[in-house]
Amino acid sequence: MDVTEPATRARRSDATRAAILRAARERFATDGYDRATIRAIAADARIDPSMVMRYYGSKEGLFAAAAEFDLRLPDLAEVPPDRLGETLTRHFVRRWEADGTLVALLRAAATNPGAAERMRGVFADQLAAAVARSVAEPATAARRAGLVASQILGLALTRYVVRLPPVVDLDPEELTAWVGPTIQRYLTQPLPPSHASGG
């Protein structure tokens, strides 16, 4: 019974598991949750649909595994304060240009409550946490992170999902030049004169 790695033992099926996950990410990204069928995913992975069930339990379970997403945000405390917007914008564009998982999550979040919940989690946990490290008054961090999310997700939506031509045509550097200052302002601008001051 005493093997060297009882838990981390490399299983023979790992390749299959990975193939399923890869196919699932692609399908979810292009078709959304509902239209992405287990049969299609299984066909892409050259595997029987029942294997998907065996390894991931259900379609929901498969999606949960496929939509695990790490924004890989840099430590904003180490970024020069006047380059926060530029840095963050460039990072996001690079990140989802290389990995379709976020687009899959975005497409699914439009109709699937669980996906929307996960989307909230990604931005609440990762983005808000990163923003908190770069903001003067911690009380405003959540609000600022929300505004940043609205612009960043709007960019992803118009560029990769709706595919608005003028947004698709901008190259990453132009994109950064235009929306970088927006992000910068959301992060560093003092609170607007509030009529009904909150916290």
Give the C-alpha separation, 18 to 188, whole Å: 42
146 lies in the binding site for DNA (CB under 7 A): no
Question: Among residue numbers 42 through 61, which ones bind DNA (CB under 7 A)?
Answer: 46-54, 58-60
Using CB under 8 A as the criterion, which residues of the chain lie in contact with a copy of itself when the complex forms? 31-35, 106-107, 109-111, 116, 119-120, 123-124, 142-143, 145-147, 149-155, 157-159, 161-167, 169-171, 173-174, 177-179, 181-182, 185-186, 192-196, 198
111 lies in the binding site for DNA (CB under 7 A): no
Query: Stretches 7-15, 71-79, 114-122, 158-166: which one binds DNA (CB under 7 A)?
Result: 7-15
Tell me the angle at which helices 113-121 and 59-66 cross, rounded to the nearest 10 degrees: 20
Q: Are 22 and 29 in contact (CB under 8 A)?
A: no
- Give the single-character DSSP code of 22: H
Give the C-alpha separation, 139 to 1, whole Å: 53
- Give the single-character DSSP code of 4: S
Q: How many residues does the chain have?
A: 199
- Among residues 13, 30, 111, 150, which is the contact residue for DNA, using CB under 7 A? 13
- What is the contact surface with DNA in residues (CB under 7 A)? 11-13, 15-16, 36-40, 46-54, 58-60
